[in-house]
Amino acid sequence: MTRTSEHVAAVTDADFDARVLASGLPVLVEFTADWCPPCRMMAPVLAELAAERAGELHVLALDVDANPRTQSRYGVLSMPTLMLFRDGEPVWTAVGARAKRRLGQEVTEALERGGVPGGGASA
């Protein structure tokens, strides 16, 4: 069961295309799992980022154990993997927990770059 908050909702295989790929706003997706300690560390970070950027960025969490189709589709092997989508395309990917400030900077830079696919990927 994916941990969600007021600002971070769960997304599933069934609604991923509609809620992420067809979104009018950029969408940051955390590929997560309940058994993943770094994922639990990211929950409050993502909730804060989502609250601060409400109206300009959606933040969603996808439980990889319950949604293997989307995990496989994007080649996600490690959790947490953070993937930023814009206009239906992944434009930035990062693996591992990060501080809110760093995550916010990376997302801003990816969006300012115009979102070069795979750009800014880091471990």
Active-site positions read 36, 39
The pair of structure tokens assigned to 81 is 């993997």
Beta carbons within 8 Å of 107's beta carbon, 6+ residues apart: 26, 28, 49, 57, 84, 92
Alpha-carbon distance of 46 to 97, in angstroms, equals: 10
